[in-house]
Structure 1
Amino acid sequence: MTEEEAVQIAEYVAAACPAQKFGEYTPDVWGEILAPYAVDEARAAVIAIARRQPFISPAEIVTEIRERRAERIELANIVYDGNPNETGAQSAAALREIVRAAADGLTGPSSIRNSLGAAERLALPPGADHGPYSGRAAAARAAIGKMPSNRDTSSDPRSRPCRRCGAAPGASCTTGGRRRRDVHPIRLEDTRRAAAGLPLIDHDAVEAHIKAAAAAVLSRNHDDDQEQEAEAS
């Protein structure tokens, strides 16, 4: 992030949080703190934070950026077996490029999760080849071209929607509007049953059956109590 972009982010926060005070040198300090990150990442982080609180600190922006980058890496489901013709250092460098590209958002969840064998099929956002990530995009294409083409995703819970929170395939589960690090148990259960070729459980029907059975037992006990009272009288 450049100094001018840091000023833009400070102005962006000031607009989103009108009650927050800024000093003359605030943009300079924020620029030093946010320098390692892209302005687009910082702007997206500001929007996310402003939706849930009235004040925003640069540390919170950094935390939000790191969480989103970690989420993109996690959703990318990266698998890299290396190349027998590569040295250990070359394999490590290739893997770093894939991870960095995933964190930068240069690859969508499906582009790595499906383990496309052709590097030129790597999904990139418009303009990525001409922007600040152009070198990373090329390196990621080359590295992803070496990834296995027979990746099995049937055991990945995030490959299917969640019936608990409504998360779409490829997205993380949420609770109270916050992203979960794990998936809801029902999503994991659905994934395991689908992988085993078993039908999904209708939990609403199961719950209704349990309630009906419990009501029947209570009704039967009540009738028995009434009969015993009648006999005693």
Structure 2
Amino acid sequence: MTPAEAAELLAHCAAFDRRTIGEADARAWSRALHDVPLDDDTRGAVAEHYAHTDQWITVAQVRAIRARIRSGRIDAAHPVYDGQPGETGEQFVARRRAQVTAAAEGELPARTITQAIGAAPSENLLALLPAVGRPVVEAEEPGPYVDEQTRVEIREHLPGNRAALVELEVDCPNSRCRAARRHLCRSSRGRELRGTVHGQRRDAYAVRHAQCPECGAPPSHACTTPEPHPARVRAATADRPMPNRRQLDRLMRTPPAPRKSRARHTTGGTQR
């Protein structure tokens, strides 16, 4: 800062504290601020000082406040320099200093850390943010993922016994089970019945889908007896898909596991 610039800075201070300025004052401030330019940050340091106190500002306070103003811009800009391939150490230092100086001068805008390192959210994600927190309009209930005809074709080529359980199309009316459609029945102990269903579910399926050969009751109408006629049950499952042949062959060749005897507790002791 030259003596003329120092005199201009002191005139700026005098506008606040009505101090008297002389040539000696200008030369003294110029020597003390020889490495500080007269810019908007220096003038801003004087204005910030007198915005909080009525005491005369000193050279040390001008330096400290100006440094704090510029440091705040650097912190807000988060300057990041990754370097360039093939650059020397001196080039790295010079370019890094230039970047920090640009941030202090306000040439780099304020940004977050994620923006500085290039990890900011994409534009597509930012476009979705305004919709966060808004209620979603209820859409119509979607239809089945696979239509019924395609399901039938798929079941015909699936191995195992699951395809043979056509009774799964109805809810199980058994009071201890109450399995919903497409869910296996459960025993009284909570185990899934994978190869069969409860008799009440079998009867319910026969009433819904088959006509009774004995009493002539049409589908979805009960027989003249409390329970469906056996012929109606057989007619409902006459076209039941057969299990996989390899599985049947394996089951026929595998002997049943021996039944484990359980101990019985009696008054006379333990019997096996």
Give TM-score, length-normalised by structure 2.
0.40
More helix by share: 1
Name the larger-Rg structure: 2
